[in-house]
Amino acid sequence: MMGVNFLADLTIKGKAGLLLILAILISLPFWSSSYIISVATITLYLAILGQSWNLMLGFAGLLSLGHALFVGISAYLAAYGFSVLGLPPVISVFPAVLLAILMGMLIGYLGFRFSIGGVYFALLTIAFAELVRISVDHLGFIGGTEGLFLPVSEGDRKGVDLINLRGHPFMFYYLAMVLAFLTLAGCRTLLKSKLGYYWQAIRDDQDAAQALGINVFRYKMYAVIYSSGIAGVAGVFYAFYQNSLFPESVFGIERSIEVTLGPIVGGVGSLFGPVLGAFILTPLGEGLTELIDFLKNSGIIDPKLKLNGLKLLIWGLVVSLIVLFKPRGIWPWLSDKLGFCRTEGD
């Protein structure tokens, strides 16, 4: 049902395009390298997070710059449950997601109750993320600054154990793909439901929405709940894929900013935008690293030259150019050009 709905917006061309991309993604492990699979897994993971972040900003108009918080506390809970209490992730995912949602509800409650809007709300999310990062730094039982590690044994990377999320990288790749697809379909359903229209009304004009009798506080809370819940699921995946968690690399502001990039580049408020954005930015970053290595190895540039930072410098330039010249994002422009969608930008 969901899947049928989901295809209804696409034209024949769009469906063909989607099918082609799906075919490439599904067959990827059979013909590419393990390096490409690891890049593709991270890309899919960021696509899920992009979707979650887009749900708040693109659907309901709430700018979050602290999404790493939801991912991080859920990742930490699942990792702690597994490494110390021996809880498999199929079980710990529930309390982990619940914790992420509760955190979202706390921020949402404070923010909306005290009517903190726009940039101020974004700063509130940053403040909470930073507070938790510093607190985790000082919490010895989950590793503090030393980090929290999941036990990995030699045999783990061979099998497929979905209950304990231990297995071959291909398992994580396919799992990320399934999660990304479910998130996309779920967000499509939400966007086209009554809830989705309420969100868009609030996003476009909060006062008008309120005047029409929409309970603005409640529906904004729903946006935060769904968004932080999805981020929580992604957090559990991250913990078991990465196997090591450090406060700085999990809760750092860079992580929160990373989450926002895909949707902004792809197109805020659209469904395919966050996915497309992730598929542009992650390979771009990896491609630049490869290109610099290649140029060094082939002697075109001096191999002894220290080029730390060059990759991110170019990357920043590309992002600036996109903001300046395609401010609505790549997806709305691309889908217009190629005639993928019936309704523009969806």
Partner 1 sequence: MDFWTLANALATGLLTGLVYGLSALGLSVIFGVIRIVNFAHGEIMVMGMFFALVMFRWLGLDPMLSVPLAAAILFVFGYALQSTVISRVAHLPDHMQFLLLAAIAVMIVNGSLLIFGPDPQAINISYSFDSFDIGENLIIDKTRAYAAIAAVAISGLLLGFFKYSRTGKAIRACADNYLGAQVVGLKVDHLYALTFGIGAACLGAAGCVLLLLIEVHPYLAPGYTLLAFVIVIIGGLGSMTGALVGGILIGMSEALAAIVLQPSMKSAFSFGLLILVLLLRPQGLMGKSVK
By CB under 8 A, name the binding residues for partner 1: 57, 63, 65, 110, 114, 116, 118-120, 122-124, 126-128, 130-131, 134-135, 137-138, 253-254, 257, 260-261, 264, 268, 306-313, 315-317, 319-320, 323-324, 327
Distances (CA, A) of 262 to 129, 267, 270: 20, 8, 12
Shortest spacing between CB 215 and partner 1, in angstroms = 22
**Cβ closest to partner 1, residue 94 vs residue 114:** 114
Q: Which is nearer to partner 1, 151 or 316 (CB)?
A: 316
**The pair of three-digit structure tokens given for residue 214, joined into one six-digit string:** 């929409």
Q: Which is nearer to partner 1, 28 or 295 (CB)?
A: 295
Which of 260, 286, 284 shows the shortest CA–CA distance to 273?
260
Q: How far is the CB of 343 from partner 1 (least distance, A)?
A: 21
Q: CB 152 → partner 1: shortest distance, Å?
A: 30
CB nearer to partner 1: give 123 or 182. 123
Look at residues 176, 206, 152, 149 and name the one whose alpha carbon lies nearest to residue 41: 176
CB of 200 to partner 1, least distance (A): 15
Compute the least distance from the CB of residue 106 to partner 1, in Å.
Answer: 11
Name the minimum Å distance from CB 211 to partner 1. 18
Which residues, in sequence order, are CB contacts of 318 under 8 Å at separation 6+?
A: 284
> Could you give the CA distance from residue 146 to residue 253 in angstroms, rounded to a whole number?
19
For residue 346, the Cα-to-chain-centroid distance in whole angstroms is 18
CB 28 within 8 A of CB 36: yes
- Beta carbons of 180 and 46 less than 8 angstroms apart: no
- Coil/strand/helix, residue 166: strand
Query: What is the sign of the dihedral through the CA atoms of 164, 170, 174 and 177?
Result: positive
Q: How many CB atoms lie within 10 A of CB 261?
A: 21
| Closer residue to partner 1, CB minimum distance, 28 or 288 | 288
The CA-based angle 336-339-344, given to 5 degrees, is: 50
Greatest pairwise CA separation for the chain in angstroms: 67
Which residues share a beta bridge with 203? Answer: none
- Kindly tell me which of 138 and 158 has the beta carbon lying closer to partner 1: 138
For tokens 């990742």, the residue is 75
Residue whose CB is less far from partner 1, 40 or 259: 259
CB of 277 to partner 1, least distance (A): 11
Shortest Cβ distance from residue 263 to partner 1 (Å)?
9
- Return the number of the residue (30 or 325) whose C-beta is nearest partner 1: 325
Nearer to partner 1, 35 or 120 (CB): 120
Least distance in angstroms from the C-beta of 278 to partner 1: 15
- 208 Cβ neighbours under 8 A, 6+ residues apart: 201
CA 157 – CA 167 distance, rounded (Å): 4
